[in-house]
Amino acid sequence: MNQADKAASFRQLHHGPSILRLANVWDAASARLVERAGFPAVATGSAGVAFSLGYPDSEILPLEEMLGQVRRIVRVVSVPVTADLMAGYDDIEKTAAGLIAAGAVGLNLEDFQKGEPVDLRAQTEKIQALRRTGERRGVPLVINARCDIFLDQIGDAATRFDRTVERLLAFKEAGADCLFVPGVRDEETIARLVAALRFPLNILAGPGTPPVGRLQELGVARVSLGSGPMRATMGLMRAIAEELRDAGTYHRMLEGAIPYRDANDLLA
């Protein structure tokens, strides 16, 4: 498939009979593992990429380094790749052009930048600019528009749902393909969002999130793992280091490790 075909295929996955599952990756090796496991698409997580490159999860990570990691991932997989580009950096058209040049076909776009919620009109204009840039370059980017009101517990809890829906419906009207609400895990709120939006909804998995089968019953179109896989890997590395330091043994390293030959062949 060419890049435009991959974009169309990835967009269609949000409307399939089964919920789209995305096990977020941070580098070429993790991307190949996800592809080898049979997933139809690969998604990066901004935190995982940032941590792997030595930065906190923010736009302090230079766009060039972020896109460089996307390019490395695209090089080793054949499935569509979507990238978490935080709030899109300062020049959204430049960001979109760079993303397409890197070979990706979609992105997450946050509505929280430099410690503050992005003005609603400014955010819808970003989404429209992403849509125009993709169309001009022949790759209709799949836009996952994110609202962080629940995640960051912004403002009055009594109005949090209504304010989230207001923003998400504006993102939908501006041209988003999927709406992302991290921080929501209870079934009642998820069901209310599905009913209010009537549009593909992405839920971020975490403690207390219903299983994938139940999310599908509730009408969720997409579930992602965010920084979870990368942080789990960091936890394993910490355990390996502490065991070596304290006990001088290697059990945690050897439990479940992929054999060297298999790891090498994965990227050959």
pLDDT in tens, 171-195: 999 999 999 999 999 999 999 999 9
* The CATH number of domain 3-226, selected from 3.20.20.60, 3.40.50.2000, 3.40.50.800, 3.40.50.300: 3.20.20.60
Per-residue confidence (pLDDT) for residue 113, from 0 to 100 = 87
Question: Mean per-residue pLDDT for 53-76?
Answer: 98
Cβ neighbourhood burial of 180 (10 Å; 0-12, 13-18, 19+): buried
Per-residue confidence (pLDDT) for residue 157, from 0 to 100 = 79
pTM: 0.96
Does position 137 have pLDDT exceeding 90, yes or no? yes
Per-residue confidence (pLDDT) for residue 170, from 0 to 100 = 98
**Contact call for residues 81 and 107 (beta carbons, < 8 A):** no
Question: Mean per-residue pLDDT for 245-249?
Answer: 98
Does position 236 have pLDDT exceeding 80, yes or no? yes
Strand positions, DSSP E, the chain: 20-22, 42-43, 81-84, 106-109, 112-113, 116-117, 142-146, 178-180, 201-204, 222-224
CA–CA distance, 221 with 18 (Å, rounded to integer):
8
Q: How far is CA 200 from CA 14, 40, 210, in A?
A: 6, 17, 17
Q: pLDDT grade, residue 153 (50/70/90)? A: confident
* Position 132, amino acid: R
Does position 155 have pLDDT exceeding 80, yes or no? no
Does position 154 have pLDDT exceeding 90, yes or no? no
Question: Mean per-residue pLDDT for 110-119?
Answer: 89
Per-residue confidence (pLDDT) for residue 156, from 0 to 100 = 82
Q: pLDDT grade, residue 208 (50/70/90)? A: very high
Percent of the chain with pLDDT over 70: 100
Q: Is the dihedral of CA 237, 238, 239, 243 positive or negative?
A: positive
Q: Three-state DSSP class for 199?
A: coil
208, 211, 216, 219: CA torsion to nearest 10: -10
Q: Three-state DSSP class for 52?
A: helix
DSSP state of 175: T
235-59-100 Cα angle (round to 5)? 100
Q: How many C-alpha atoms does 257 have within 13 Å on its Cβ side?
A: 13
Per-residue confidence (pLDDT) for residue 146, from 0 to 100 = 98
Does position 233 have pLDDT exceeding 80, yes or no? yes
Question: Mean per-residue pLDDT for 210-220?
Answer: 98
Q: pLDDT averaged over the chain? A: 97
Per-residue confidence (pLDDT) for residue 158, from 0 to 100 = 82
Q: Give the pairing of strands 116-117 and 112-113.
A: antiparallel
Q: b/e string for 211-232 if b means 16 or more Cβ within 10 A?
A: eeeebbebbbbbbbbbbbbbee
Q: At what angle do helices 28-36 and 228-246 cross, to 10 degrees?
A: 110
Lowest-confidence region among 93-97, 111-115, 227-231: 111-115
**Contact call for residues 86 and 102 (beta carbons, < 8 A):** no
CA–CA distance, 221 with 223 (Å, rounded to integer):
7
The closest of 206, 205, 203, 208 to 219, measured between CA atoms, is 203
Question: Mean per-residue pLDDT for 233-261?
Answer: 97
- Listed in order, the ranges of the chain carrying CATH 3.20.20.60 are 3-226
